[in-house]
Amino acid sequence: MSKKLTTLGAVAALTTTALVPTFAMADDSEVRIGLLYPTSGPCQIFGSFALEGTEMLVEGINANGGLNGKPVVLVHRDSKCDPSEATAMARELIAREEVDFLIGGVSSSEGQAISAVAKQEETIYIAAIPKTTQITNAENFHKYVFRAAANTNTEGKSAAILADRLGLDRICTILMDYSYGHSLDEAFSAHIAQIRPGAEIVAQEWPKNGTTDYTAHITNLMAAGCDGVFSGIWGGLFPAFAKQAAPFGFFQQVEYITAGEVGSPEIAEQMGADMPEGIWANSYEVFYFPETPEHLEFTAAVNERLGVDHAPSWPVTGYVSAKFLTEAIAKAGTDETDAVIAALEGLTIDTPIGPQHMRASDHQANRGQFWGKMVQSSDAAYPYRRMDPVEYIPADDIMD
């Protein structure tokens, strides 16, 4: 596979302290994959686990002879959940480490930044976690970007389905004021209007990204007279919000539906008794559902690898993303870029959470959402709240 050197000049202009001191030589006897997951800073918990999931998959592939006879080499850089850092590291991986593919990103802004590099450098990028539809919409779509994650249409519309089931008619929203929050708002508002015409969005709050004091937003919501709140204050930010809202009796006053993986086991375990009882939350995966042999085998492997009793939800994001790419390379019989793109388009793979399909039209996987009501379990094996009931809302009819 031809290596791309067009970014060398740009890399040379970057702050060198962010770069590794040595770099690889071109070697077409390997399949080289660059991984961009934050392993420091506020998104560290998500990126580190996603990295573990990717490594799990690739170790198994290499133990069985590699891809098309080549070993798979993973090269990781800490993207720090920062679009500028992600851009610099993506360029460095391509130009200096001579990776053939990119996988990763946690925040939507990171995903947009990596996608821009992928387009410029004609390198396939699999977005593992970023959700904003702006990555793959008509304005920004290009042939080198694919997304294994759910998008904000899937997340926002599945939340609207829950709001309709709960009979909510006066709805408030609190969503982060950047691309992820605005894309969620577009999806939720459009879908609730379609499936529950009598419902009304009566107030909206837009905390700035990086906000630590939500008090004014909380009091505004409580004064708005809404019977339900749709939130996009995602997992890493939610504990602070919940601690500030609880003394007001906020979660007893309204039905609270929150996107952003607040229902993930690791967030629930981290929060313990601070996780509000009875809120509705989502997750990329929960180790206790579904109880299929494939899922149980995967979570057992994660437990053993991490030395934990309850698998976190994020390894599956890295695992599924890398599986899309590696199965496409195997299907193509080569790691040549255009052949792998053709193999990815329309590809269906088996995963621990069921079959996943990559649409050819916009390179969006039909990744659904796990949703459930967070309640204290009577089982002593779960000393924190978990989803009960829990369900998987499929994406096929709500991706657009």
pLDDT digits (tens, 9 = 90+) for 53-107: 999 999 999 999 999 999 999 999 999 999 999 999 999 999 999 999 999 999 8
**What phi-psi label fits residue 69: left (phi over 0), alpha (psi between -120 and 50 degrees) or beta?**
left
pLDDT tens figures, 200-241:
999 999 999 889 999 999 999 999 999 999 999 988 899 999
Evaluate if residue 11 carries a pLDDT over 70. Answer: no
Instruction: Say if CB 164 and CB 133 are below 8 A apart.
Output: no
Q: How far apart are CA 28 and CA 11, in angstroms?
A: 22
Q: What pLDDT score does 156 carry?
A: 97
Both tokens of 330, joined, read 């195997």
- Which single residue is written with the structure tokens 């905390």? 207
Evaluate if residue 16 carries a pLDDT over 60. Answer: no
Of the listed ranges 42-46, 114-118, 294-298, 305-309, the one predicted with least confidence: 42-46
Evaluate if residue 173 carries a pLDDT over 70. Answer: yes
Q: What pLDDT score does 37 carry?
A: 97
Instruction: Kindly indicate the confidence band of residue 108, based on its pLDDT and cuts at 50, 70 and 90.
Output: confident
Both tokens of 212, joined, read 């630590």
Please tell me what DSSP assigns to residue 248.
G
Q: How far apart are CA 249 and CA 271, in angstroms?
A: 18
Instruction: Say if CB 91 and CB 125 are below 8 A apart.
Output: no
* H or E, element range at 341: helix 337-344
| Packing angle, helices 293-306 and 315-332, rounded to 10 | 110
Evaluate if residue 396 carries a pLDDT over 50. Answer: yes
pLDDT tens figures, 235-276:
889 999 999 999 999 999 999 999 999 999 999 999 999 999
The Cβ of residue 377 has, within 10 Å, a number of other Cβ atoms equal to 14
Instruction: Say if CB 240 and CB 215 are below 8 A apart.
Output: no
SS3 221: helix
Q: How far apart are CA 87 and CA 115, in angstroms?
A: 9
pLDDT tens figures, 45-55:
889 999 999 99
Evaluate if residue 163 carries a pLDDT over 50. Answer: yes
Both tokens of 110, joined, read 């990171």
- Which single residue is written with the structure tokens 């004021």? 177
- Which single residue is written with the structure tokens 């990815």? 344
Phi, psi of 62 (to 5 degrees): -65, -35
Instruction: Kindly indicate the confidence band of residue 353, based on its pLDDT and cuts at 50, 70 and 90.
Output: very high
Residues 6+ apart with CB under 8 A from 169: 196, 198, 199, 200, 227
Measured in whole angstroms, how far is the alpha carbon of residue 243 from the centre of its chain? Answer: 24
Q: What pLDDT score does 2 carry?
A: 38
Q: What pLDDT score does 7 carry?
A: 34
* Segment 160-165 mean pLDDT: 98
pLDDT tens figures, 365-381:
999 999 999 999 888 88
SS3 42: coil
Q: Quote the radius of gyration of the chain (alpha carbons, Å).
A: 21
Q: How far apart are CA 48 and CA 25, in angstroms?
A: 27
Instruction: Say if CB 92 and CB 19 are below 8 A apart.
Output: yes
Instruction: Kindly indicate the confidence band of residue 168, based on its pLDDT and cuts at 50, 70 and 90.
Output: very high
**pLDDT over 90 for what percent of the chain?**
85
Evaluate if residue 8 carries a pLDDT over 50. Answer: no
Instruction: Kindly indicate the confidence band of residue 27, based on its pLDDT and cuts at 50, 70 and 90.
Output: low
E strands in the chain: 31-36, 72-77, 101-104, 124-127, 145-147, 170-174, 200-205, 228-231, 255-258, 280-283, 348-349, 356-357, 369-376, 385-393
Instruction: Say if CB 235 and CB 261 are below 8 A apart.
Output: yes
Position with higher pLDDT, 257 vs 137: 257
Measured in whole angstroms, how far is the alpha carbon of residue 174 from the centre of its chain? Answer: 20
Q: What pLDDT score does 236 carry?
A: 83
Instruction: Kindly indicate the confidence band of residue 13, based on its pLDDT and cuts at 50, 70 and 90.
Output: very low
Evaluate if residue 24 carries a pLDDT over 70. Answer: no
Q: How far apart are CA 55 and CA 46, in angstroms?
A: 15
Q: What pLDDT score does 380 carry?
A: 83
Q: What pLDDT score does 183 carry?
A: 92
* Segment 146-170 mean pLDDT: 97
Query: What is the SS3 assignment for 77-132?
Result: ECCCCCHHHHHHHHHHHHHCCCCCEEEECCCHHHHHHHHHHHHHHCCEEEECCCCC
